[in-house]
Amino acid sequence: MRTDNGPRRAAVGRPMGPQPAKRQAILEAAVAVFLREGYTRAGVDVIADEARVSKQTVYNHFGDKERLFIAAVEGERERVAAEFATGAPCVPEQFDGGDARTALTALGHRVLEVLLDERASALRRLVIAEVARHPALRPACAEGEPQQLVVWLAGMLDRRTGSGELSVPDPLAAAQQFVALLVQQGLYQSMYGTRPIAAETAASICEKAADLFVRAYRT
């Protein structure tokens, strides 16, 4: 097994000094091994070997396998958030043109594209499969939609309320509901990410969700 000579004393679950690259390597290896072996069979020594660090380094960063798994899930959520950020919050006009129905439909397509990608879906299925046998993994089941997506969408709904096009009394709650509606329909139609969603099915999901919201909140 490979080893490294980096410092080994650190608070459990926190990076040791300026080593973000090493921590990220461990998380990437953890996702790969957990998806390949499952939670129960995945060994910390295998993850360490794949990350090219010592087993002790993994423990120094994350404490134990349970916390490593939860950190890996959270890391995937951050990756999904970053991928969405390249298309929406950084270039909001891409999803904020036209009327409300047009804007929500365009946003819906991006949500399905990013949140239902293959790796994130596989990890989601693993969490569902393992949490009943390992209750300590319950934090990995926490809602994890990208917060910048929800905040940006809430802002868009608030702007359209201000212009008189919509009347949304709680834009943040409405944004969370819209994203949840898209994701749940996407999970159902894709059988939890085990098959791709046909283009016409994705279009139907997005258009129906947008229609529902416009009917509910139009002035």
Q: Which stretch of 39-43, 81-85, 174-178, 181-185 has the lowest confidence by average pLDDT? A: 81-85
Whole-number pLDDT of residue 102: 92
Q: What is the pLDDT of residue 4?
A: 44
**How far, in Å, CA of 134 to CA of 136, rounded?**
5
- pLDDT tens track for 54-80: 999 999 999 999 999 999 988 888 887
The per-residue pLDDT for range 79-88, each reduced to its tens digit, is 877 776 665 4
Query: In the prediction, which pLDDT does 215 show?
Result: 96
Question: What is the mean pLDDT of the segment spanning 152-177?
Answer: 94
Looking at 22-31, 166-175, 190-199, which range is the least confident one? 190-199
> Going from the N-terminus, what domains does the chain have, and what CATH number goes with each?
1-63 (1.10.10.60), 76-217 (1.10.357.10)
Average pLDDT over residues 166-177: 95
Report the mean per-residue pLDDT for the chain: 83
pTM exceeds cut of 0.85? no
